[in-house]
Amino acid sequence: MVKIVWSEKSKNDLKSIFDFISQNSIFFAKKTRSDLIKRTQILKDYPNIGRIVPEFGLNHIRELIYGNYRIIYKTNVNNFNLIEIVTIWHASMDLNSSNRKQDIF
């Protein structure tokens, strides 16, 4: 079974999403946070289920979609039993910005 680790960036992204949604609803903030985490659990059994991120075209950088969010993750080419959740990105925002590329590579 694959181990999933969350980068500091992805943890901060999850907190930011929670904080933003909680301004209107604590219930939906908790639900969204929980659902985003649950969405990644499929990777334990199917690490390559996500599509290759089109902006990069690299087989080891993939994404899962949950609502308007892109959960970007990396499969480890040296350790096939490890997946890193790199960032959670709102689909309306540009993933090609230089700051985001640094987060992923």
pLDDT in tens, 40-95: 999 999 999 999 999 889 999 999 999 999 999 999 767 678 999 999 988 877 66
pLDDT band for position 105 (cuts 50, 70, 90): low
User: Whole-angstrom Cα distance, residue 41 to residue 38?
Assistant: 5
- Topology of domain 3-104 in CATH is YaeB-like fold (3.30.2310)
Angle at 85 between CA 84 and CA 87, to 5 degrees: 135
More confident residue, 87 or 99: 87
pLDDT for residue 66:
95
pLDDT surpasses 90 at 2: no
Q: In what order do the strands lie in the sheet with 51-52?
A: 3-6, 82-90, 69-75, 61-66, 51-52
